[in-house]
Amino acid sequence: MIKRPFIGLFQPKLKYDLLEADPKEPEVVPVPSNILLLLNDSLDSSKITFIKKGDQVKKGEKLFLYKESTEHVISSVSGVIKRVESYAGEFGNIKTSIVIGNENNDDFVNDFKEHADKFELDAAAKFLKLLPGAPPLEILADPAHKIHTLVISGVDEDISSTVRQYFLTTESADLKEGIQILKKLTQIPKIILTVPEGISVDTEISGMQVFNISPVYPDALPKMIMKNQLSTIVPQGKTCEDMGVCFISSEAVVSIAKAYRDKSIHFEKIVCVTGKDGVRKRMKVLIGTPVISILKQLNIHTNENDRIVIGGPFNGFSTFTVYHPVGPCMDSIIVQDSGSIPYVSDSACINCGKCIKICPANIPVNLLVRQLAANLFEDAEEKFDLEACIECGLCSYVCTAKIPIFQYIRLGKHELLKIKAEVETEGANA
Ligand code: SF4
Ligand code: SF4
């Protein structure tokens, strides 16, 4: 493992979008006739599922695939399950999709209600982790993480989203309330609010620090904030949480405030949608709404070879289906016309060095990509700092040979995790 200073030779000048001066209310997407929920659990043909086609479900109901499952989703509508089937996620990760026909009735399961006056972290983690913004309450409730600093992100991590800025500026009363609730729940002594430079906010809370974040990508990524603002380099293979710092989005904090105030959970997520013409719009959608319903509302038509990116232009992923659903932490959707999709190639690296110069983690990217292309994942980690990558995607952006470096890196990390899990399993069985 090579240890390198965490400073690239030159900084890119790609700017985050700043929220407009007088942001409008997001346009509401009507609740679709079918919603789709993605469950992080895979179907096993040898077992009988706990949920099945034809089951009646209520809004707010937790859905588990098997009786013993720990993973669940929460239905955002009341209706009937129409399908339970396998869904191929990134890198062939198999999930389960649950399609629910919306019956537009008011049946609602509100298990959180009886906990809403108690301010207990375990209950919050149990009932609120799938709120819009996906608050990391399980991490906060896990004593193994020893979180001492909570960073409320009012900055968006990718350049195509203004969702967090929107909540930072337009819902400041709920944001303050949510921060007070989190203080009460977690007792974490150090609370920091990150704010984009150039945006003024009305969110003073006694003892809370405010960090102004530069609008230059990738300065709003958590590991960059750790380095630039908290003077903490996250070592290879470690997370911010391993260093005692937990990040939570402004949307998630507002969601928590609303849940305690209303004694009920809600499912409306704000998503930034960028059309083929580059025009960006914030939309309010129910979690589980398929992307196609949002595109229809915006009159965006897609053709066979167009691309839909979930997440930002640098570190998002393309989905193979327009039925991909909006999840609790999806901030951005980009639709690219087939004619304007950036070209990628399988050409060899020409050693121009641009990727090395731009990499904020100072990784020898040209050497790393060779290992990854040859499926040498352990060498990529041990000799070329694979795990030091902060996943900004800038190397792919500048690559002269148009090598999809970032996709190689994501796949490499995924394969490395699998190798490590296999080694652990073999060790446990030995
Ligand atoms: S994505 Fe590329 S540029 Fe960004 S940290 Fe990783 S290797 Fe460096
Ligand atoms: S930018 Fe692309 S071509 Fe240039 S050194 Fe890096 S990998 Fe090779």
Pocket of ligand 2 contains residue 243 by CB under 6 Å: no
Same domain, 177 and 254: yes
pLDDT at 253 over 90: yes
Pick from 36, 96, 26: which is nearest to 291 by CA?
Answer: 36
Q: How many CA atoms lie within 13 A of 80 on its CB side?
A: 4
> Which of residues 168 and 7 earns the better pLDDT score?
168
Pocket of ligand 1 contains residue 395 by CB under 6 Å: yes
Same domain, 125 and 222: yes
Q: For the segment 417-429, what is each residue's pLDDT rounded down to a tens digit?
A: 888 888 877 777 7
pLDDT at 1 over 70: no
pLDDT at 13 over 50: yes
Give domain status of residue 407, yes or no: yes
**What's the 306 CA to ligand 1 centre distance in angstroms?**
26
Same domain, 124 and 42: no
What is the number of domains present in the chain? 4
Q: Quote the tokens at residue 200.
A: 């003024």
Residues whose CB falls within 8 Å of the CB of residue 131, separated by 6 or more in sequence, listed in order? 252, 255, 256, 259, 265, 266, 328
**What's the 314 CA to ligand 1 centre distance in angstroms?**
10
Give domain status of residue 2, yes or no: no
Same domain, 117 and 97: no
Give domain status of residue 7, yes or no: no
Pocket of ligand 1 contains residue 386 by CB under 6 Å: no
Alpha helices in 31-90 (DSSP H): none
List, in sequence order, every residue forming a beta bridge with 98; answer none if it has no partner: 37, 84
Q: Quote the tokens at residue 341.
A: 């999709």
* Mean pLDDT confidence for 164-173: 95
CATH number at residue 303: 3.10.20.90
Same domain, 301 and 360: no
Pocket of ligand 2 contains residue 116 by CB under 6 Å: no
pLDDT at 360 over 80: yes
Give domain status of residue 349, yes or no: no
Same domain, 137 and 217: yes
Q: 299: domain range?
A: 268-339
Nearest CA residue ID for atom 8, ligand 1 = 359
**What's the 339 CA to ligand 2 centre distance in angstroms?**
24
pLDDT at 7 over 50: no
**Stretch (H or E) spanning 37:** strand 34-39
CATH number at residue 155: 3.40.50.11540
Q: Is the dihedral of CA 352, 355, 359, 363 positive or negative?
A: negative
**What's the 365 CA to ligand 2 centre distance in angstroms?**
8
Pick from 317, 314, 275, 315: which is nearest to 298 by CA?
Answer: 275
Same domain, 119 and 250: yes
**What's the 89 CA to ligand 2 centre distance in angstroms?**
28
Distance CA 254, CA 25 (A): 16
Same domain, 148 and 204: yes
Picking from 47, 71, 102, the residue at the C-terminal end of a domain is 102
Picking from 262, 294, 312, the residue at the C-terminal end of a domain is 262
Distance CA 175, CA 193 (A): 10
**What's the 367 CA to ligand 2 centre distance in angstroms?**
9
pLDDT at 9 over 60: no
pLDDT at 65 over 90: yes
Nearest CA residue ID for atom 2, ligand 1 = 395
pTM: 0.92
Give domain status of residue 322, yes or no: yes
Give domain status of residue 38, yes or no: yes
Picking from 200, 235, 262, the residue at the C-terminal end of a domain is 262
Residue 187: C-alpha distances to residues 55, 141, 196 (Å): 41, 11, 26
Give domain status of residue 10, yes or no: no
Instruction: Give the number of whichever ligand sits closest to the CA of residue 359.
Output: 1
Distance CA 120, CA 156 (A): 29
Counting ligand 1 atoms within 8 A of each CB, the residue from 363, 370, 384, 410 with the most, and so the one to mutate, is: 363
pLDDT category at 138 given cuts 50, 70, 90 is very high
Q: For the segment 264-292, what is each residue's pLDDT rounded down to a tens digit?
A: 999 999 999 999 999 999 999 999 999 99
CATH number at residue 55: 2.40.50
pLDDT at 222 over 60: yes
Same domain, 308 and 219: no
